[in-house]
Structure 1
């Protein structure tokens, strides 16, 4: 159910099981993990090589991005929850968050459970205005997982987080963006084209500089860095970038008043 294609420097990964709203079982998680491995391997190719990857786009086919875990046929009494979450999902989310290029997601319809986790692990998320986001786990006698507690508490605060969890109410994409959960919301018919254009633009940019910013943002968020600690990291990153070909190209292009031709090196 997982499809990977590479063109124009962009890897596009598709969750393609629309008949079940792209819900993911263990086998699908393993497929998705392999797709990210394959895309990451392509990201290490020499600049300009056929199949080289400098950005990634994740999307779901059909009317939903991902409705969560596929629990069809699973018996609660024998369910290996730890094997699914700790053994498969958590390593995948870490892998996604450390992908060596900018990553984008286009999300429509249901973005729940594991689907929400996939979005949390993506750098930039664009959602359809009608997307559905929240925590319906109370209906299953379960709790929000896949990093959902972290995202909601950080962006919405404790009261709103527990409100969504206790009521199982869902918010739409417009509300989610207004609350700071994701980057932009737009009509569903515009979503894929917009996200593809953004990924394509990033794929022509200074990839190493983007990776440096990705690393800095992760450090600021995860280590709760203050201003001056962040400045130290920025200065170190800038000094390293000054040794790259794209840094030199950027300076040359600025001086010559032309558009830079970045290679990702």
Structure 2
């Protein structure tokens, strides 16, 4: 179900089970984990400098594949806590900029995969929300945190209790994700952004990624975050990209960034 290709420094990871809207079971999550582990390895060698995550067919990912799940003996803790959460952590920790293409259904674990990416470009017709009321279940994979942080308590509970799905346009207007595009343009737009990032100063991008993670997870205040920015900038001074970026500016030429 999970496929990965690498071209020009960009890894493209594809959820390829369109017949079930790319819903994922434990096997699919294991394949995704293996693909991300390989992307990590290639990032360490410099062969991957950005990553795109997308779904084949009519949807990005409709969530967990429950077609063969018996609710009487369902090990939700094992599936979510032992299988899904580690993969979301791995994706979020990748030391390259990560992009997601969100189209069609982006629900449950699918929403969690979007949350774990750095930049999410959304089809205007995408469907994002919490349909779990129909299962007697609750939103998972980080959805509560995303909605509460961006929408507040009342709008989060409205989505959860009504099960209403937001369009991609609505989700971007509400500040959930980066940009909205027509459905037939979103994949190409995301690929173009990923390739541009891969040709850029990726060490600086990753430094910002770490700072943003600290702001989110550790709740750094203004002065603490300013100190972290200073340390990050000082570390970048020792990189080839920093030196060439400055020299290129002074010499009025285009810099050549190598990720070193």
| Pairwise TM-score range, normalised by the shorter structure | over 0.9
1:43 match: 43
Deviation at 1:252? 1.1
Structure 2: give runs of 5+ residues left out of the alignment: none
CA–CA separation in structure 1 for the residues paired with 2:68 and 2:247 = 60
CA–CA separation in structure 2 for the residues paired with 1:147 and 1:44 = 27
| Alignment root-mean-square deviation, CA | 0.6
Residue 76 of structure 1, aligned match among 57, 71, 74: 71
CA–CA separation in structure 2 for the residues paired with 1:215 and 1:187 = 31
Residues 181-205 of structure 1, C-alpha deviations (whole Å, 9 max, x = no match): 0000010011011000000000011
1:11 match: 11
Deviation at 1:112? 0.3
CA–CA separation in structure 1 for the residues paired with 2:106 and 2:59 = 7
CA–CA separation in structure 2 for the residues paired with 1:157 and 1:112 = 19
Give the TM-score normalised by the residue count of structure 2. 0.99
Give the TM-score normalised by the residue count of structure 1. 0.97
CA–CA separation in structure 1 for the residues paired with 2:75 and 2:108 = 17
1:99 match: 94
Residues 53-84 of structure 1, C-alpha deviations (whole Å, 9 max, x = no match): 00000000001000000011110011111110
Deviation at 1:28? 0.2
The alignment status of 1:134 with 2:129, answered yes or no, reads: yes
Give the 3-state SS of the residue equivalent to 1:189 in structure 2: coil
2:258 match: 263
Q: Kindly tell me the number of residue pairs found equivalent between the two proteins.
A: 260
Residues 196-225 of structure 1, C-alpha deviations (whole Å, 9 max, x = no match): 000000001111111100000111111111
Structure 1: give runs of 5+ residues left out of the alignment: 47-51
Map of 1:103-114 to 2, 5 A cutoff? 103-114=98-109
Give the 3-state SS of the residue equivalent to 1:205 in structure 2: coil
